[in-house]
Structure 1
Amino acid sequence: MSRSATFDRHMLETAFSEIDVVQRSLPQATLNTLAVEVVSRVANNLRFEVQPDLAPCPDEIDMLCNALLSDDPRAAATFIEQAQLKGSSYETLCLLYLSVAARRLGEWWDNDEVTFYRVTVAAGRIYAILRILRRERPIGVPNLLRAATFASVPGENHTLGITIASDLARERGWDIELFVGLTHDALVEKLEHRQPALIGLSASGKRSLPALTRLIVALRISNPGASILVCGQIAAQNLSLVGVTGADAAADDFDSAIAHMDRLLNIPTNRLI
């Protein structure tokens, strides 16, 4: 991500539009769950030491929190953009600005200084900004390892499809690690530890949409460098999965999934199989 360039305006509007679609598409109980997921995971996402002079002061964090809670949906994005222009890296913006702000918002909520509704609004904006920052990161070199992690969405009882897809992908030369039957937290923990470049998620239908969306929200925070592909019967339904869930691609058949996997890992199409 260039430190001298401002956010792409189209990308900014797209991210906020997609968050708006999520807020209009899912029931309030699910939105509340997603808000808690964003705030708690972002707040606890401090994993490395940075130079003290890169850290924002407490007043700046308060300003960012107030921007996240304001009537202007783009105020916080503008704040982060200004920090970016001053030289803050992707890691600094995510871990020292947004993580600390999420923690502060959680404290304000615990102390009844802000309502949960406002925290929900702020959480949606944090998630939108994270998606903007992720999309602006430079495209890496082609991944020639052809490795991916497949997983069934927590709560799924039908895992035969993804098991067969894993075997078929292995026959085509892919190194596939498969997880089925795990709880939400257990799956996120395993994927966070492994940091795969490509994650394929399988869901059987619309009833899995809340769990799928919650999982992708968590993975966008714990695995920011991963590409996410949604597969299974849910991909055949008219749910706008790339926009609503935040997935990078969706495929309702095996050949389409393999084509997306090649594209997402930037694998040359003229390779030998």
Structure 2
Amino acid sequence: MARQQRENDDLDQVAWAQAHLQFEKLQTHLPETAVSNVAREVVRRLAFRLPRYGEGTDGPSQGDIVRFCSTLTATNDESAERFIRNLRRAGSSAHTIYLSYIAAAARHLGAQWEEDEISFAEVTMASGRLFRIIRGLRYVLDRDGPQGEDTRRILLAVLPGDSHTLASEMAADLFRRDGWEVDLAVGEDHDSIVARADTTRFAAVVIVANAIRDLETLTRLVIGLRIVAPVAPFVLAGKILDAPDVAEMCGADAEITSLDTAAARLRAITGMPPRDDAAASST
């Protein structure tokens, strides 16, 4: 329903603002190396996520990309958004603006970073602004993602490196009993989990994490998943929730705090009725 409501709405201001606040918090609470790794995830994922839109006669010139990148590192926080809006008003297609420019800019910034042509502060600022654009345009990007959503299929992923899997397996069983089809990712690495969401449209993604020391790993995973699955709700579970503001810092939409109420909570988050109600309504 959200996609239908947003069919003609190019910018989600709420998601844009949330992404902005998330990056501000990360820079305050994470060490510089962790922030750098999060920024690299944005650049890497965007640079190779949409390469097909970075070429051809409809794409931007190198000069266009350089100008766009200059807005991403400008002191004026509104320059990048204004650049994108001006292109749209001039008649450029959404694909050309939102996909070709973003992918090409990420590749350009990545190359500059590798050659030490831009500072850590500049690339962090640019990464945050690119991520804001992606989040603000999530309904536009979602129309090019995998189709044929199964409204009862979810991804339940244990954070890479986390060996506490029993509760996750119990949760998967509870969700299945409640009528969900569960793709359980246990013992998988970062790229494998992101690849699952890149090829399958899930009704929700649940990530289980238990140690606050894994906040960087968790944040990188959520950001990678956000780029490939822009509208799926991301739900955080596990003992990591004992730490304050974790869900907000990593960018999760909601929390599951109890195994006993996990199934009901997931239904509330997704707006899905209980299994019996769904079956009854289809007869």
TM-score by length of 2: 0.82
Structure 1 segment 51-130 matched on structure 2, within 5 A: 52=56, 54-85=58-89, 86=91, 88-89=93-94, 91-130=95-134
Matched residues in 2 for 1:209 and 1:130: separation? 22
Matched residues in 1 for 2:200 and 2:18: separation? 30
Deviation of the 1:260 alpha carbon: 4.5
SS in 2 for 1:32: helix
Deviations 1:107-128 (A, max 9, x none): 2223332123311221111112
Structure 1 segment 210-221 matched on structure 2, within 5 A: 210-221=216-227
CA contact (8 A) 1:98 1:126 kept: yes
Deviation of the 1:137 alpha carbon: 7.4
The residue type paired with residue 115 of structure 1 is: S
Counting matched residue pairs gives 269
Deviation of the 1:6 alpha carbon: 7.3
Matched residues in 2 for 1:183 and 1:75: separation? 36
Matched residues in 1 for 2:171 and 2:263: separation? 10
The match for 1:253 is: 258
Tell me whether 1:271 sits opposite 2:271 in the alignment.
no
The residue type paired with residue 113 of structure 1 is: E
Identify which range, 170-179 or 186-195, moves more after superposition.
186-195
Change (3 A) 1:247 1:256: farther
Deviation of the 1:25 alpha carbon: 1.6
**Structure 2 unaligned blocks of 5 or more:** 1-5, 144-148
SS in 2 for 1:151: strand
Matched residues in 1 for 2:202 and 2:222: separation? 14
Matched residues in 2 for 1:110 and 1:17: separation? 27
The match for 2:202 is: 196
Tell me whether 1:39 sits opposite 2:49 in the alignment.
no
Identify which range, 47-56 or 248-257, moves more after superposition.
47-56
The residue type paired with residue 109 of structure 1 is: W
Deviation of the 1:7 alpha carbon: 4.5
The residue type paired with residue 271 of structure 1 is: A
Matched residues in 2 for 1:149 and 1:110: separation? 34
CA contact (8 A) 1:45 1:95 kept: no
Matched residues in 2 for 1:66 and 1:198: separation? 36
The match for 2:166 is: 160
Tell me whether 1:170 sits opposite 2:199 in the alignment.
no
Identify which range, 128-137 or 245-254, moves more after superposition.
128-137
Change (3 A) 1:75 1:49: closer
CA contact (8 A) 1:231 1:257 kept: no
Change (3 A) 1:51 1:43: closer
The match for 1:208 is: 214
Identity of aligned residues (%): 31
Q: CA RMSD in A?
A: 3.0
Identify which range, 70-79 or 128-137, moves more after superposition.
128-137
Deviations 1:24-70 (A, max 9, x none): 12111110111111111111112546995642232221111000011
Change (3 A) 1:100 1:231: same
TM-score by length of 1: 0.85
SS in 2 for 1:44: helix
